[in-house]
Structure 1
Amino acid sequence: MGNLNIKLSQLLNSLSFSLEVAENRYYNHSRRTAYIAYCIAEEMELNDEEAADIYYAALIHDIGMAGYLSKYSVDQIHFEEELKREHCYYGYKILDKLSFMGKIKEYILHHHEEWQGTGPYGLKGEEIPLACQIISLADYFELFFLRKMEDDTYIANLDHIDKWLGKHKDKRFKKEVCEIFYEVAKKEKFWFDLRPTNLDQALQMVEPRKGIYIGIKDLHKISEAFALLIDAKSKFTYEHTKGISNIVGNFATYLGYNPIMVEKLVIASNLHDIGKFVIPLEILEKPGKLNDQEFQIIKSHAYYTKLILKYVKGLEDIAEWAGNHHEKLNGTGYPEKLDWQSIKKEDQIIALADIYQALTEERPYRAKMSPKEALLIMEGMADRGEICKDLLSHFRQVVL
């Protein structure tokens, strides 16, 4: 249970997936945009660092469409000027606290600038960083050309591409960038790689050669950024994750875990609800009882949390702790029906914090409870064998 050494490209690819399986989003949009942008950067023979920054930025260029903007569709955000500006700025602010994201956050802020100066911030011509020009072309081509092709008919119709580019040359995009992209589009490999069956492998092959690795401190900062996005989705989950993380940090310290383990548990608690990106807002905020189908959808969030985090090598234990927060010791939890033989103490630490925080928050179907009322409910759960009675007695000392 030592320190962490996480490959940034894997992490961003996984987080990009979490944004793309969210409601009102197009699956694989950001990852195909990243592939297209990287191919343009390669064709331009940009250096490895520049190409890597373009790839990373393209992977999460729409991070600002999460959180409170998740209720809007992709088309709304790309066509309504205020939403276009807002999601660029929101994405920039989310990444603003991450020092190693310096260029990337700037690229995200300006990825909708247009060559003729009609973008959200009015940058014109060479005022627009080249990386932003590349990402913008890749973004719009994926959404408004590639996605309009019939499913799985990825055949390069160069006449149609030339016509599409011709409408935008020296208007939305710089003429030279369009011409370089046209050369990319001539390659059969480019089209084969974009097929859904091939994309994951293609991304692994074009992954920046000089891999960037981050440690536990930077991972903690990224987890905090995503916690903000998760909580911002619904007014009823405002600061939910932050509350859980504070409890988990205090509880793990009380139990005698070493500082690195405490930090890993806090990271897991920051990301425990990342699967909620998938859940429609009308279900999260439904005032009445959920029907069986809606409850099944709610249950999927824990599944997606583990799926998203398990993609990243080095996050296996964090993925387990985060993904198991709705499992019960008596096997009645979800989504895997684990029991006391499989559930670890670390899983329970996050589960107890999650239960307590949820009970002491307002929900659309009930008022918030006092700490003592919440603990009384949790004692009943312990009596039924759902959570650990001994661990709950220690938990009480931390939260009262």
Structure 2
Amino acid sequence: MTYFPPISSPGQGGGSAPQGILRLGELLGALSHALDLTEGQPKGHCVRCCWIGMQAAQALELPPQVRSDLYFTLLLKDLGCSSNAARICQLYLTDDLSFKQNFKTVRGSRQGIEFLLRNTALGASPLKKLKTLGHVIARNDQLAGELIETRCNRGASIARQMRFSEDVAQGIASLDEHWDGGGLPQGLKGAAIPLFARIALMAQVADVFAASAGAEAAAAELEARAGSWFDPDLVPVFTAVIRRPGFLADLQDPGLEAEVFATPQAQHIHAVDEDYLDEIARAFSLVIDAKSPFTHGHSQRVARYSGLICDQLGYSPERRRWMVRGALLHDIGKLGVSNTILDKPGKLTDEEFSLIKRHPVLGHEVLSRIAAFRELADVSAAHHERLDGKGYPYGMDASQLTQEMRVMAVADIFDALTAERPYRAAMPLEKTYAIMDGMAGPAIDPDCYAALQDAVTASGWPSASDARLPEGTWELPAAERSA
């Protein structure tokens, strides 16, 4: 049985690594792997785009502060991409992950139509597919504008929340603008498009085509779009980078990520203190919860309940803060699960359930990339484990589950049961407790559950007839959905 090794409990040390050595580039670069998940891109896409774009910045001899802002624009270019995933599934009756991945290779109108034919209404009857195609093709410009505007505005807003400059926010907001004015969401043209956006889009296309067809194909694709998508003066700068001997080997080098994280630009903007770590965790919780309308507010509420349980159990303020941060990020692996599964109004198939069971593993892979988050990654990944060993993804039992893991599992289940889902209404408090009473002992820790009940009573929870707190709906654990 594979599981991560047991870690220390409160009072036994085992806290995260000293925050003074945590580099901002390393932190956000690691979290950018979660953005790769929601875009259906190979691991490290945003990091590779950052490396390509910074190579171009060096050739352009951009000033240090400009390079620093560009660096974070490139790493975080996809900050808003989770916000349109549910809408893509709804409109195109398709898997959002493959839809987004394949869309990145589309160049013009003809390819766009071919793309829609291949990627719309997958698995539907011929009549349903024809009807859906007619709807989306007739409204193609409007729908594309809506989806891109949602993504770009959301990404820019989150970048501002993370204290980045307006230049970074605008670079993210304008990622899909084209040199000839044919892009979205504003139809900006020429030099009106922020330089960071021009560089980021070219780096994105370069990485996508280099990964799928090689360096020369990537350079040729940029040249083919010069003057239409891309600034014709920047294209030769990028093609010189791409055609440099060893470019593809460098792009595929396992050491590339460490090189990107160690660059001086990665350290230039903010000191990574405890307050800033909290802000970054809150910002990424917005990315996570934007993935599905049925998870709106989920991460922040699990964080709230985890904090309340910690208070009842006597955690130190520092450890409580650490737990809240982990709860904000506990579902980051959900970004790699299709909305066709997350938003399905009914029982999951065995195959779908096996896919959703991967989300804690995906989340662990992302968070454990950050040296200071290794223990946090273990705790966050265990929120669907049970004391009797019947949970997932690792089937860990009571002997392997630390108290922190048990706290987060209780908080997640409570938030889930009191949430509206596509297949049932939110449960009132009495029914929620009736279910959790039966879980206490076999599945969840009785002490953590009792601490939750005490905290809920003290907080003045709404009446049983109106058990939902304001702002949002939360998610039912997939283990229950398969039953």
Query: Is TM (by shorter chain) over 0.5?
Result: yes
Report the counterpart of residue 203 of structure 1 in structure 2: 257
Match of 1:135 in 2: 200
User: What is the aligned partner in structure 2 of residue 301 from structure 1?
Assistant: 359
Q: Aligned residue pairs: how many?
A: 388
CA-CA distance at 1:285 after TM superposition: 2.4
Q: Report how far residue 25 of structure 1 moved.
A: 4.6
Give, in whole Å, the separation in 2 of the partners of 1:338 and 1:38: 43
Q: How far off is 1:127 after superposition?
A: 3.5
Q: Distance in 2 between the 1:155 and 1:123 partners?
A: 29
Q: Which residue of 1 aligns with 2:409?
A: 351
Matched AA of 1:203: E
- Counterpart of 1:317 (choices 362, 370, 375) is 375
Amino acid aligned to 1:115? W
TM-score (norm 1): 0.87
Q: Please say if 1:46 is aligned against 2:103.
A: no
State the secondary structure of the residue aligned to 2:347.
coil
8 A contact 1:88–1:108 mirrored in 2: yes
1:59 aligns with 2:83: no
Matches within 5 A, 1:1-80: 1=15, 4-5=19-20, 6-22=22-38, 24-25=40-41, 27-69=43-85, 71=88, 72=96, 73-74=99-100, 80=144
Contact persistence 1:116–1:171 (CA under 8 A)? yes
1:122/1:365 Cα in 2 relative to 1: closer, same or farther (>3 Å)? closer
- Residue 307 (structure 2) pairs with residue 249 (structure 1): yes
Deviation at 1:274, TM superposition (A): 0.7
Which has the larger displacement, 100-109 or 227-236? 100-109
Q: Is 1:115 equivalent to 2:179 in the alignment? A: yes
Tell whether the 8 Å contact from 2:83 to 2:151 is kept in structure 1 after alignment: no
Matched AA of 1:62: D
Cα 1:374–1:95 change in 2 (3 A) is same
CA separation of 1:130 and 1:297: change in aligned 2, threshold 3 A? same
- Tell me, what secondary structure is at the counterpart of 2:202? helix
CA 1:194/1:378 → structure 2, altered by over 3 Å: closer, same or farther? same
The residue that corresponds to 2:147 in the other structure is: 83
- Partners in 2 of 1:174 and 1:122 — Cα distance? 15
Contact 1:324 1:347 in 2 (8 A): yes
Describe the shift of the 1:392–1:86 C-alpha distance in structure 2 as closer, same or farther (beyond 3 A).
closer
1:314 is paired with a residue of what secondary structure? Answer: helix
CA–CA distance in structure 2, aligned partners of residues 22 and 126 of structure 1: 30
1:388 corresponds in structure 2 to 445
Q: Counterpart amino acid of 2:425?
A: A
2:161 partner SS: coil
Q: CA deviation at 1:111?
A: 2.5
Return the offset for 1:51.
2.7
Q: Tell me the CA shift for residue 287 of structure 1.
A: 2.8
The secondary structure found in structure 1 opposite 2:230 is coil
1:277-314 Cα offsets, whole Å, 9 max, x none, are 12221222223322322221111111111111000111
Deviations along 1:296-348, one digit per CA (max 9) or x if unpaired, are: 11111111111110001111222122111111222222112222222111111
User: Please, which moves more after superposition, 134-143 or 66-75?
Assistant: 66-75
Structure 2: gaps of 5 or more residues: 1-14, 89-95, 107-111, 113-143, 458-483
Q: CA, structure 1 residues 247+44, in 2 after alignment: closer, same or farther (shift >3 Å)?
A: same
Structure 1 unaligned runs (5+)?
A: none
Kindly provide the CA deviation profile for residues 236-269 of structure 1, in whole angstroms up to 9, marking residues without a partner as x.
Answer: 2222222212212222223222222222111111
Partner amino acid, structure 2, of 1:399: V
Give the Cα–Cα distance (whole angstroms) in 1 for the partners of residues 151 and 215 of structure 2.
32
Cross-structure match for 2:5: none
Q: Specify whether residues 101 and 293 from structure 1 end up closer, same or farther in structure 2 by C-alpha distance, changes over 3 A only.
A: farther
Instruction: State the Cα deviation string for residues 194-216 of structure 1 (Å, max 9, x = none).
Output: 23xx2x41232243225425122
Distance in 2 (alpha carbons) for counterparts of 1:232 and 1:105: 18
Going from structure 1 to structure 2, the CA distance change for 1:148 and 1:294 (only over 3 Å counts) comes to closer
Structure 1 partner of 2:387 = 329
Indicate which of 316, 322, 341 corresponds to 1:283: 341
State how far apart, in whole Å, the 1-side matches of 2:351 and 2:228 are: 47
The separation in 2 between residues aligned to 1:86 and 1:393, in whole angstroms, is 41
Rate the CA distance shift 1:303–1:57 in 2: closer, same or farther, 3 A. Answer: same
Letter in 1 for 2:264: R
CA distance in 2, matches of 1:25, 1:262: 34
Q: 2:56 is aligned with what amino acid?
A: I
Q: 1: distance between equivalents of 2:306 and 2:365?
A: 22
What is the match of residue 366 of structure 1? Answer: 424
Given residue 289 of structure 2, which amino acid in structure 1 is its aligned partner?
D
In the TM superposition, what whole-angstrom CA distance separates every residue of 1:152-183 from its partner, at most 9, and x where no partner exists? xx3546xx83x544443344333332222222
Alignment of 1:198-277 (within 5 A): 198=253, 200-207=254-261, 208-212=263-267, 213-277=271-335
Report if aligned partners of 2:198, 2:231 keep a CA contact under 8 Å in 1. yes
Aligned residues: CA RMSD: 2.6
What SS is found at the alignment partner of 2:264? coil
What do the CA deviations read for 1:328-384 (whole angstroms, capped 9, x no partner)?
A: 222222112222222111111111110111111122333322222212222211242
Q: Please state how far the C-alpha of 1:85 moved relative to its aligned partner.
A: 3.3
Alpha carbons of structure 1 residues 236 and 86: separation in structure 2 relative to 1, 3 Å: closer
Q: Is the partner of 2:416 in helix, strand or coil?
A: helix
Q: For residues 383 and 263 of structure 1, what CA distance do their matches in structure 2 show?
A: 27
* Whole-angstrom distance in 1 between the partners of 2:398 and 2:251: 44
- Is 2:152–2:172's contact at 8 Å kept on the other side of the alignment? yes
Name whichever of 16-25 and 83-92 sits farther off. Answer: 16-25
- Between the aligned partners of 1:362 and 1:301, the Cα distance in structure 2 is 21
